[in-house]
Structure 1
Amino acid sequence: MMGAPMDEGCSCSEARAHLQAFLDHECDGDLRSRLEAHVASCEHCSRIADAETHLREILRSRCAEQAPPELRARVLGRLSVMRSTASVITAGGTTTVHSRVIRYTRG
């Protein structure tokens, strides 16, 4: 195992297992505190967390771009919308669901 020993309250394997939740601020207080202390004191885990944060920033910036309005209109115009309708029949303690699919094509 690389990095800081478990005297920080968290091992490298535990830090890696919870890295995504940690970066998403989804960990409870105790786990979050232990992970913060570990990442701050473990060079290896700190690099992994920094790399993941950097990757998230790159992805976020790339996903912010929107398609040109003309492309959006063309795509929406060609989408097929499927709608399922269902009817429920109960007879003699048995429930039967009948469904049919209707396909609508726009444009």
Structure 2
Amino acid sequence: MTDPITPIPHEPAEGENECEHALVHLYEYLDSEMTPADERRMRAHVAHCSPCLAELSVEELVKQLVKRSCAERAPETLRLRIHEQITVLAR
């Protein structure tokens, strides 16, 4: 038998409630930057919290759209102009 999943605590931690805590760490979850235990807690929370699940769905969609939009390479002239601007700012 597996250990029961402990959701993110309902008690506010440093002024945060459970949902605030989940939303603060949403991108860590989406980017797979959480420990396995934290991922399980996040899944347990969103499985029982419609507002956080909705926010997760929106952020997943935005992440997919950005990824798809960033697949194109910038025109060489734009890349050169940006490089020149960075060089000027660095001096």
Give the TM-score, by structure 1 length. Answer: 0.56
Aligned match of 1:13: 20
Task: Supply the distance in 2 between the matched residues of 1:54 and 1:14 (Cα, whole angstroms).
Answer: 21
Q: CA RMSD in A?
A: 2.5
Structure whose residues are more often strand by fraction? 1
- Partners of 1:20 and 1:78 in 2: how far apart? 28
1:51 paired with 2:58, answer: yes
Give the structure with higher Rg (CA). 1
Structure 1 ranges of 4+ moved more than 6 A: none
Tell me which residue corresponds to 1:61. Answer: 68
Q: Sequence identity of aligned pairs in percent?
A: 27
Q: Which runs of 5+ in 2 are unaligned?
A: 1-5, 9-17
How many correspondences in the alignment?
73
Q: Which residue of 1 aligns with 2:15?
A: none
- 5+ residue gaps, structure 1: 1-7, 83-100, 102-107
| Aligned match of 1:96 | none
TM-score calculated relative to the size of structure 2: 0.65
Alpha-carbon shift at residue 66 of structure 1 (Å): 1.7
